Structures are given as C-alpha cells and as structure tokens.
Structure 1
C-alpha cells in the first residue's frame, strides 16, 4: 500500500500576475540510505519484517525485494539468504509529517536473527544522507566509505504499528542528515540518543573506544579496580554505558566476560561520582548500565568483579547520552514555487517556530536557473522576517536552515517558512559594479558606481532604485541612462535612493560618482530596483565580468586594507533639545553616532542618565555593525533608528524636564569604547 505525501508547498495568495504571491512550507522531505552486512551460517529462507517512516524500498544482495508507503503496517517478506555475507540495504524517504524518523527491521532464519540496533559491534548498521548513484551502495563495504556512519536511535509511535509483536527487541534506528530531524513537530535538531559519544575520543585505553571488535582490553585476575577512562571533550548529558565482551561465540563470551563493573562520571577528571554498577554478570556478550541523566565530561568503567582464575577481555565500551545535538543544518531541495521553468523574483521570507534563549536559528538562500550552477549562499539571517537578497530573476530557489544550541536539553524549531515572490519582474537583469574595490576604513573615498539594466517585453519597469551605502554619501555626479531624468535623490546613513521622473523601461546604464567612508572591513553596494508595484522589487547581481584593460574581475564590493580613526565617533543628539509633549513636533531626539571597524554585529549600549547618575532609559539598539547611525530622511521612520528616544524612562513614563547625559558604549574584545553627550528635555 502506498500513501502519497501531502504537498510540501502551498501558494497562500496570488493577487495578479504582477503581484507578489506567498509560498508556504510546513513539512520537509529527507532521504536516508541504510546498510547492514550480516553473516548467515548457510543458505536458507528467512522472514524479513520491517517498516519505516514514511516510505521505503528494501534490497537484499543487490536485488529489490519490497517497498511500502504506509509506516503503520509492518510488512513481512519471504527472502533467500546466501551462506556467508548478506547485504541488506534500505532507502527511506521521510515526508516530515510528525510521524517520527527511522526504521525497524527483523531478519529471522530458524534460530538466527538479525535486528535493527544501535549497539552492534561486529555487524553494524550504517547510514548516509548523501545521494547514492548507481548500485554500488547496495552491496559494497561501507565501513570505510566517507559519508557513511553508524546509526543512532530513531523514534516512531509503536502503538500505532500493526503486525509487530516486538518479541525480539529490535530498536528503531535512524540517521539524521545534517544533524536535523524532520519527523517531529517541525524541523529541529536531532536527538543524540543511541549515538556513541565516546567513539575515538581521547582515552587511557583507546582500544576499547574505537568501535572495533578486534582491539581488546585485557584485564588480569589481579587487576581489580583497573579502569578505562575517556575524555568526551566537553560536558555531555550522559545516560547509559554499554560494555562488549571480546569473542565470537557463546563459549568465548562466557570465558572473557567481566563479572561486574561500575560507571563513574567526573567534570574535572579528579573527583568522581559513581552513577551505576552491575554485578554478577550473566549476559556475557554485552551488558548495559543505564542511569539518571547527568552532565559529565569524563567517564570511566571500573572493573569491580573479576574471575580469580581467568583474564577478562573487553572489546568495546560505548557511552550514550540524551538531549539534542549542538548544531545542525537542513538544506532544501530546489524549489520551483509552483511555477516550473519560469523566472521569478524573491521578495521576502518569514518563518514561525521556537528559538529559546541560548539557541540560534538562521536562514540562507541561493538561486539557480538550471539546478547545476548556483549562486553563493546569502549571509546568515537570524531575524524571523527579512528581505530575500539573492541573484534574481531565477527559476529555482534553495534555502538552508542553520540550528545551534548552547544546551543539551533544548533546541530551536522551525515550524513553517513562507516565501514571498512574484512571476513578473521590474527588469530582466540588473548588474552592479563599483570602483575602487579597496579602501581604508575611516577614510573618505570617491567611488564610481555602474548599474546596467536589461528589459524584456512584459517587464514592469523601474520606478526607483535603492543603493546600500557604508555611510552618508555625497553625490558628485549622476549620469542617467539615455532619455531618463532623476526626479529626487535621498541620502541617509545607510542608503542612497533615486526616484525617476518617468518609468525606466529601456535597457541602459546608470553611473554615479559619490564620496563615502568605508566603516567595515568589507562592504557590498547591494542595489534593489523597485517597480510601480511596491511589493515587487529586484535585487541587482554583482557584475563579475573582467575589466577589458586589466583583466581583473569586476565587483560591487570594497575591501579594507587598512584602518584609521576611532572605533566610536561623532556621538551627538539630534536635536539637542526636544519637547516630548505629544504634539508630534520636535517630540523626540536621535542619538547619532558612527561605528567603525566592527564587521560582526555587536551589542551597543545607549544609556540615558539624569545628572545624579541614575539610569533613566536604556535604548534597545539591537546588534549593530560598522555604520553611520543618524536621523533618517523626512520620509523615514525615526522610531526605527537605534538611537531613538521619546523622552520616556524604562517604565514608559515621561521624564521630568532637565538636562540628561547620554552614554554610548561598545563592549569589544579589545576593551570598551565609550563616548558621552547631552540632551535637554523641555516642555
């Protein structure tokens, strides 16, 4: 039975061919390949029972033997095993419908059984999230192939399974490409349950933390309380230890087993706490000690009971934990947004989900026309809603979600992603370059800016252009395209905007000369072209052609090779006197300042004090990078300025008239940078 998945994307609204539409994504597909090689004593018939969330195809010794798309039913397949090595392969596609992640498998032949498990040592389940070309992956030895790793614990709702008696103890196993789980309520970091946290970590007896059955720790009868210790590198949330006895059959396991051991945990390697123990061991091949989850960096297994006449031989020790992985990344398939083979422009995105304190979720995007040649990934954006800045128009869009957490027990989650786009575009192509491409931070430089625009029939045309600026620019020359005239020019601390007297609809080039100061180590003169339809705009691409005279590639970026001047400068209030009496006339001030040489956004403190030194108001500036933060133009919203103050204290009460001190402080690795100014409040 095959159950088709719901569509992964949905057009929420389309106003007209020229208007922006929205595409919603609320489920995420993921394909994982699994492999197990196991040995049968002889050729024989066997029963293969399995299910997987959501759809699978299973292969035995290179041949497809079954498939299914209903994870709630366990299928039983009659298969033929060959004597010696048998190769089991399963391709699983998870549709992201909150049903879980992973698969569960039993292969039973007489008194022999092979199960899905996270703790195999000689017959190991492995997985890969990479696309598998051809058929080699069905039978090849994957133990040394890059991109293939051991499975960890998966999850599904076992009570909903039919046809599964669970008598053999098979585990739900899973692999999580990118460290991300698509099977829950949204997209989230994978669990670490079932993952061997000690594998190949620094240890006093590395032979038992290497995942290999052949390397053995031998304990003499008189070596009571000897131990194997591992350093996990960082504190982890630990919950279970597994110990594997060396040997190949029941007799060897019985001869080589430990009689008892204790598990101890430490955070400094000196003070140890016993968290669990086992004595009088009767399961000779493999034992496990589970304990209440505890944070620890160091763990050791202490031999507390030994046979007085025989050596004990330990093949491997595994340490598993709980919680979520520290980081993960999900990369989508290419998206056509319901319009295959059609160019589109990508306006904005917004996402819903959860981002608890101490966690991070950021988005990146890229575009392509053919699915082969892709643009670079856009810079990471951590805000839940932002402009989509990618080369456009393009047929295909792809996104990447980056997750991280500082905690073992909590992580961020993406529940939905909405992309605003349009089929029609202001222009068919727009490319930008500037010169020079090198400068000095803090020094005024004259730039020459070139914007080449191409139009096709049906394009909406360009009404205005917005160019990102590193600081307040002084425009010295405008050379418009033939037949075009600039109606208005607006300069702000971070942009230059040009409005055309008539709609620009003929291919041509705009050239500007202006003077501005570079305030970060690198700056891109990104440009957005707006159509008469306000919701539809086009991000210009970087012109990467080569200069015919020098052969050097063009660019729309400038990089710094030196820096001069202070990091924090030009701190003042504008206006220095204001009257917050509610008449919308001079009822606020802007704390203006210039930040230089800060390329990574930093928290900047803007604090207002009365003359007695009491903190009256702490402005919410957010994280800022180098730039000139000044009062916006008349048509701008002053409340969006990081230095906006409306004359109210932190409780929302208007302050009393008088003189107030303003402190702007940048807390940097090289020390605090602080500047003061004053402002007067009158009524």
Structure 2
C-alpha cells in the first residue's frame, strides 16, 4: 500500500467508535488549511497530554495500542512504557501497563518528527482495561492538549497553562489499529491506457491525454466540401480517384479564382496538403498532365471568415501537388485556383490535408474497478488531479455497479452529470456496491495543448446505512399513477423501503431531490402517522424535500411514506433520493436510494398536455395591482407570479421594472428551472427609495432560446 500522510485521513473519519482517537497538533492541521505550509515546520517534537478520569476499580492490566506519523514515546503516569522509531504509521504497537487502583491515569505522548518519513505530528491511540474491556479514553478530562516546549516534568505536571494548546481530535471507527491500512477510506487510482481518442503519455506516466494527430492520417477524408457557389462537392474528399464521378471540374478554362472549401469539423494544426489530379486510367493511377491545377493558393481559417494564406504557387509544374507549410491552426481549408493556361479546364481528383498536435476532444472510460469482496462499499465523494491549461477542459463522470450474473451482464447506475469540481464531487450511485467506474471527457480549443488527468481518488465507507434502500413515487389520482397533467398541482406519495441488518448504521435523514418546489403534507411509517415537530422536522427547500427524524431508524422498514404536493412542468420528472445519519458528533457518508421498479413502480412522473412556451404571458400574475407602499400594511408590495416550463436545468431569469422614460428603476436576476415562482416588489428603486406614483412597466425575460420572448405588462403605484 502506498505510504500516505495521516493528515489526509481527516476528511474521511466521520463515524464514531468511542475510544479510538486521532490526535494532532496545529502543525498538522495547518497543513490542511494552508497549502503554503512547508515541510520544515514539522521537524520538531510535540508533547501531548490528557487525563483518563475513568479510573480502574482494581489493579488490572491496561492495554494501549498506538501509532504515530513518525516516532513516538508513550508515558503512563510519568513512566515511559513504550517507544517506536520505525517511522511506519501503518503498523501499530500494543503496550501493557498496570495503573494504580482508583487513581486517574495520566497519559502523555511525545511525537518526534524527523522530517524523513512524513509531514505531521499526529498519532492514533486506543486504550482499555483488559479484564473488563472498559475503554480508558471515553472520559478524558480535560481534552488532549499539546505544547512544543520541553517543559520540566511535562508528563505529569499541570497542563492547563498558556504554554499548552487544545489538540485537534477526531473520533474514528470502522478501523482496527492492528491493521492501520483500514483507516484509508480512499483508493488512489492512477489512470491507465487510453481508448478511442485518448491516449496515455509515454513511459508509464499514468496520465490520460488527448490523442495526437498522426502525420499519416488524412484529416480531409470524408469531410464536407463546397465550391465557390456554395454547392456541395463530395468527390474530392472521398479518397477515390477512379471513375467518372471521382473528380471536380471547373467546366471552363477561365477558372481564375475558383475554389474548393473543406470543413474539417474541428480545429487542427495543419502543415501539409496534397492536391491530386484525375486519373486517366480506371485501374492504375495515371495522372492527367493537362488539366491539373497550374497555380494555387492555400488559405486556412478558424472561423470561415478570416483566412490566412499559408502557401502560394503561381507556377506549378507538378500534376501531383504534395507540399508542406508552417504549422497553422485551422478548421477550414480553401484551395484557390491562382493560375490558368486558358486552354484546359481545371480538374481535381482528390484533396488530402494532414496535421499535427492533438485532436479536439476525446473520451476515456476506465475498466470496472473492483473495491473488494469483504464488504460492498458506500461511495462518497470523488476527487481527481489534473493539469488543465487555459483553453482546455476536463469533466468527469462516475457510476457504480456489479455483475448481474456470469454471462457478463452488468448492473450499473446512470452516469453522473459531467463535473469540473476536482476538489470533490458526490455522485449518484447504486449503494452499497462493489464496483466503481469513471469516465473522463477531454477537450481543447488549442490543438497544441491537452488536459492531463493524473489521478482519481474515490472515498467510500464499508459500513452502509442500510443493506439496501429503495425509493419510488406515485401520483394520488384515479388515472395512470405516474402520469399527470402538466402544470397542475397533484398530490404524491414517495415510498422508501429500507433493509437493515446488524451491521447497518441506520439513518435519521431522508432527502428527496425534486424537479420543482414541493410541499410536504404528512409522513408515516408502516401506516403509523408521524407528528411533525415531535417525530420529525420538515426542512424542505425549493430543490429537495428534507425530512429529519428525531430518532434514528435502526430497523428494516416496509413503507416510509412522504405525502407531498407539486406542480410539474417537464416531460419526465425524476425524484431520486438519499439517506443520511447526522447528529452533533456524527456525520456519515450519505447513501443513495435505488429506484424501485417492481410492480410498475418508478421514481419518474410523466406529464401530458400542452405547454406552448417556456414563459407564457397568460400565466403571469401581478397582485395586488395597484400597490400602495405607504407603510400602512395594506398593499405595501406586489407579488409577480410566473411559471417557467420545459427547463430541466437552471437558466438566467431577469425581472425588470421601467418607468415611462424607459429607465430601469428595479431589477432582479436569478437562475431558475421549470417551476412556479413568486417575486416581491416593494415599490422601491435600485437605491432603496420609494418610486413616485404612476404607471410602470414590468418585463420578465428567460434566457432559454431565441423563440422565448420576454413578457411585459404594467403595474401601478399609488399613495
């Protein structure tokens, strides 16, 4: 296993197992919060102290298991009981002592960082009474403290003074100190060989990059070609030189300025072109030495507007043109007739274009990654390392799954949406599962550069909240249960079925992601109605139903039902969800629900009916109108209510209010998706001053497409 600094454990240690502690000084903590912290700051000793107030009731052996970032010395009641100098934090040592009966146990740890092995001054410790298995570290008072000063008798002296500081302590679980590698909730995965249009860097560098353009690949083959009249010409990029339809002809000898334009589809770095004449033989290439191009200009453009002439030959005597030029970026290539003989028409059999650099875009999909058979994994966030030069882009997608059977069929979750959040992306996954897969989407607008994916790290836990958890939604209506009229408010039941066993942690939070704002009416479990404020708290937002249960659910449940109302505006409306366990001291990795597709169930609701526009004028309401913002509590503000349809992703929405001179007196910009919205205007301008009485014009504009027109109307202000 790769050696890692324990500072990287901190974001992962979220579950509590009382008594197993990860303790660090501010030096290690600073490394996390300040990326400029240098390794020289760690080459020193740190002295840690605490007192176990749960004293032994009899003189029994106490066992301490400990490991540190580098070297350590363990003291109990002032006596050195164990030391380690191997610098290997992955292996822990166990020390046995017999503390005095009925007295507090003074625990001291000196951590010495030599700067050779790791950066940091943290250690991990566990302690218990052998006979009773009572944990010694469950009642430490005060908490762990540390100092950088070698204070006299520091192992037993008072440590409440100003020279001592509070240590950063993390309770950890799902780990065994005798096998410290279990503390690693990450698996670093250097990416492997490339596929399709991505390739690895040489010398096993472990990076994925865009494929290089081969100097022997004809970039023009099969590409779209037009002549100077705009007519399509297929024959000059088809790779065929034989036959009556395998060439382009100017028809007349007076062809000066005639041209053919090739669209390569994507920008490339171009450096070579071949212009082939027609063949006089149908089986063997015999170049036409009369009608070949006598002079030519090669012009290249990125936008089909501004062209650069990269080559000009007014005296061409070679029927087969094969020439190179300075590497030039371009997508469009024009071959212009620049000289004629006034006798022969110009006939071109084929045009070939060659380049260098990188292809514009590519996709790399990893092989299924096996996380082991011991326990299925509950996946958390994924982070990745990449070099992304300006002008390039990298997005990542993820999924989880498992083989269905020995036939090679797989059960996979849907690919997550492309993400650029390299610092951490939590993705929807089938959980718990054994296999993980990622997909890298690479793009560059500059053919001479490429993004480089260097490493992917997946966070996971081995103890799920539930062995399996399923979700489905049903519309409460007489007709088809999963079809509703678009825009109408309908009642729904979201049902969660959870299977828990003795290893499951349980959950106290349910989140249902909603396509529009939803309103919870009630919650019941197995037919028993729960009381809001007593059994649960409704923390629903405009994007999710959030139910927090007062007491964790620790057993299997056949039907946890959430009754809610919503108006839907998309053709297909999905309601995925996840479970979580959150308390003041614990925040676990959430677990996504699986879609329950048994007996015709689903978490998708489909709509029927007609919605003409993204924003429809007849669904805009401004009430009250007029408004009278005089502070008397009556009509002091107006509410602009509008409906957005068809948008499954947030788009920019702007509301503006103009006076009759066309001046904007108030505006609000926001990002909205399909839903019903209400925005208040209190009669004040952009400076917070009340506007004069009179007639005003409102405008609602959605940045959707060119056919989405703004909606305007009037609102009156009176005093």
**TM-score range with shorter-chain normalisation?**
0.5 to 0.7
Conserved? CA contact 1:572–1:677, under 8 Å: no
Please state if 1:439 is matched with 2:484. Answer: yes
| 1:424 equivalent in structure 2 | 463
Q: Which residue of 1 aligns with 2:378?
A: 345
- Deviation digits for residues 17-70 of structure 1, max 9, x if unmatched? 559976476853224699xxxxxxxxxxxxxxxxx9767xxxxxxxxxxxxxx5
- Judged with a 3 Å threshold, the aligned counterparts in structure 2 of structure 1 residues 476 and 334 are, in CA distance, closer, same or farther, namely same
Match of 1:96 among 207, 211, 226: 207
Larger Rg: 2
Within the candidate set 434, 447, 450, 2:495 is matched to 450
How far apart in 1 are the matches of 2:288 and 2:547?
Answer: 84
Query: CA 1:672 to 1:281, structure 2 compared with 1: closer, same or farther past 3 Å?
Result: closer
Measured after TM superposition, the shift of residue 342 of structure 1 is 3.7
SS state at 1:672 partner: coil
Tell me the CA shift for residue 537 of structure 1: 0.8
Structure 1 residue 401 corresponds to structure 2 residue 440:
yes
Displacement of 1:97 in angstroms is 7.4
Maintained 8 Å contact 2:639/2:681 = yes
**Residue pair 2:300, 2:310 contacting (<8 A) in 1 also:** no
Q: Does 1:625 align with 2:673?
A: yes
Cα deviation, 1:392-451, whole Å, max 9, x if unaligned, reads 211112222345577878887766655443222111111112222111221011212221
Per-residue deviation, residues 566-620 of structure 1 (Å, max 9, x unmatched): 65657799xx999xxxxxxxxxx99986533323432212558899875578656
Structure 2 residue runs without a partner (length 5+)? 14-171, 176-182, 228-232, 475-480, 630-637
Hey, what's the Cα distance between the residues in 2 that align with 1:677 and 1:396? 58
TM-score (structure 1 length as normaliser): 0.57
- In the alignment, the residues of structure 2 paired with residue 252 and residue 235 of structure 1 have an alpha-carbon distance, to the nearest angstrom, of 33
1:596 aligned to 2:639?
no
Mapping of 1:378-527 within 5 angstroms?
378=415, 380-382=417-419, 384=421, 386-403=425-442, 417-435=456-474, 436-481=481-526, 486-508=535-557, 509-527=559-577
- 8 Å contact kept, 1:572–1:593: no
Q: 2:52 maps to what in 1?
A: none
Residue 671 of structure 1 corresponds to: 708
- Given that 2:643 and 2:676 are in contact with CA atoms closer than 8 Å, whether structure 1 keeps it comes out as yes
Instruction: Name the counterpart of 2:607.
Output: 560
Partner of 2:224: 201
Matched with 1:211 is 239
Distance in 1 between residues matched to 2:623 and 2:691, nearest whole Å:
17
| Structure 1 residues 562 and 383: alpha-carbon distance in aligned structure 2, compared to 1, 3 A threshold | farther
CA distance in 1, matches of 2:623, 2:3: 57
| Distance across 2 between alignment mates of 1:471 and 1:615 | 30
Considering only aligned residues, what root-mean-square deviation do their CA atoms show, in Å? Answer: 5.6
Q: Does structure 2 conserve the Cα–Cα contact (< 8 Å) formed by 1:369 and 1:394?
A: yes
Query: What does 1:141-160 align with in structure 2 at a 5 Å threshold?
Result: 152-153=213-214
Q: Which range moved further: 665-674 or 457-466?
A: 665-674
Distance (whole Å) between structure 1 residues aligned to residue 491 and residue 574 of structure 2: 15
Q: Residues 325, 344 of structure 1: CA spacing in aligned structure 2 closer, same or farther, 3 A cutoff?
A: same
Unpaired segments of 5 or more residues in structure 1?
35-51, 56-69, 71-92, 103-151, 154-170, 174-193, 548-552, 579-588, 632-642
Asked if structure 2 preserves the Cα contact closer than 8 Å seen for 1:241 and 1:263, the reply is no
| Alpha-carbon distance between aligned partners in 1 of 2:444 and 2:623, rounded to the nearest angstrom | 38
Q: Counterpart of 1:125? A: none
**Deviation at residue 209 of structure 1 after TM alignment:** 1.9
- Aligned counterparts of 2:506 and 2:639: Cα–Cα separation in 1: 36
Further displaced range: 510-519 or 238-247: 238-247
Residue matched to 2:273? 242
Q: What is the alpha-carbon distance in structure 2 between the residues aligned to residue 303 and residue 488 of structure 1?
A: 79
**1:625 shift after superposition:** 1.4
Higher normalized strand content (fraction of residues): 1
Deviation at 1:239, TM superposition (A): 3.5
TM-aligned CA deviation for residue 515 of structure 1:
2.4
CA gap of 1:610–1:454, structure 2 versus 1, over 3 A, is farther
Contact 1:521 1:599 in 2 (8 A): no
Q: TM-score, normalised by structure 2?
A: 0.54
Looking at structure 1, the residues matched to 596 and 413 of structure 2 have their Cα atoms a distance apart, in angstroms, of 14
| Change over 3 Å in CA distance of 1:594–1:357 after alignment to 2 | farther
Q: Is the 8 A contact 2:470 2:497 kept in 1?
A: yes
Aligned partners of 1:352 and 1:387: how far apart in 2?
16
Identify if the C-alpha distance between structure 1 residues 520 and 96 changes in structure 2 by more than 3 Å, giving closer, same or farther. same
SS in 1 for 2:547: strand
Q: Which residue pairs with 1:78 in the alignment?
A: none
Confirm or deny: 8 A CA contact 1:484 1:501 kept in the other structure.
no
